[in-house]
Amino acid sequence: MNRIEQRFAELQARGERALIPYVAAGDPDPNWTVDILHALVRGGADLLELGVPFSDPVADGPVIQQACERAIAKGVGLRHALTMVEEFRAKDPLTPLVLMGYLNPIEQFGVDAFLTRAASVGVDGVLLVDAPIEESAALADRLHAAGLVQIHLIAPTTTDARIAKLGALARGFIYYVSLRGVTGAGHVSSVEASARIQLIKQHCAVPVGVGFGINDAASAAAVGEFADAVIIGSALVSRLALASSSVQAQQIAIDFLTPIKAALK
């Protein structure tokens, strides 16, 4: 059982939903990222999703695209994100951490080199938007051998047959994309999402988290009524972009997450 599975087991034993915030590595300042990660944990984060800056995203909306552009302009890439995880792990050996991104940086880094480095610094899983199951079976096996899990995405348009296939392969948790669009594109429909989560859980033994369209305690609480986890990205990233110092960014992270975590208990 890795850290992701252990954390969900602990939360389920307490009857709590997981809070999973997303931040882009290197934004708003590369020197602040590790401190922001620690602040997110202090604010109530149960798992962390660290975005790897990439120039050609397909799922990220304007807020996260701009965050990644700012990070790339400062020279931040996959290698730096892995170093940030290593620095974070020096003080926090327990909080699960997932890298979110795309295949290209991993291919450029070298798959074997990435797997070795990611496992050694304490990455628990990867969420690769452009790695569908038909094209990532070999990668999934290599991730598993390295002790990492591949987090799979399910969308509102995913067919029942495909959900069943994903459910058979799922480890860690399923990321349900609640909107037909990019991150930050709108507000989640609790009625529609609830029905889809019920269907997904018929095929998936792992927890199901909901992302896209959740931006405050009220929307998180509504989703927490039927999902195992709430994933928040754009609403947090847009606030962090306003920080003028690491201390201010940390406080923003804590102030934003604290009421959301309280709503999920």
Residue from 177, 107, 105, 100 nearest 142 by CA? 107
pLDDT digits (tens, 9 = 90+) for 213-252: 888 999 999 999 999 999 999 999 999 999 999 999 999 9
| Residue found by looking up tokens 């979110």 in the block | 100
Which band of pLDDT confidence, cut at 50, 70 and 90, is reported for residue 137?
confident
CATH class of 3-264: alpha beta
Strand order in the sheet with 48-51: 149-150, 125-128, 97-101, 48-51, 18-24, 229-232, 208-211, 174-177, 152-154
Residue 230: strand pairing partners: 19, 210
The pLDDT of residue 244 is: 98
At residue 6, what are phi and psi to the nearest 5 degrees?
-65, -45
d(CA 164, CA 79): 35
Residue 18: strand pairing partners: 229
pLDDT surpassing 60 at residue 161: yes
Active site residues: 49, 60
pLDDT surpassing 70 at residue 183: no
Structure tokens at 263: 């709503």
Round the average pLDDT of the chain to a whole number and report it.
Answer: 93
d(CA 92, CA 108): 29
Contact (CB, 8 A) for 222 and 49: no
The pLDDT of residue 181 is: 47
Helix (H, G, I), strand (E, B) or coil at 240: helix
pTM > 0.85: yes
In the chain, where the domains are located: 3-264
pLDDT digits (tens, 9 = 90+) for 74-90: 999 999 999 999 999 99
Question: Residue 208: which H helix or E strand, with range?
Answer: strand 208-211
pLDDT, mean of residues 81-108: 97
Query: What is the chain's alpha carbon radius of gyration, rounded to the nearest angstrom?
Result: 17
Poorest-confidence range of 149-163, 168-182, 224-238? Answer: 168-182
The pLDDT of residue 189 is: 58
Poorest-confidence range of 7-21, 108-122, 133-147, 196-210? Answer: 133-147
d(CA 102, CA 157): 21
The pLDDT of residue 179 is: 66
pLDDT surpassing 60 at residue 186: no
pLDDT, mean of residues 193-203: 90
Peptide bond into 28 cis (omega under 30): yes
Helix and strand counts by DSSP (H, E) for the chain: 12, 9
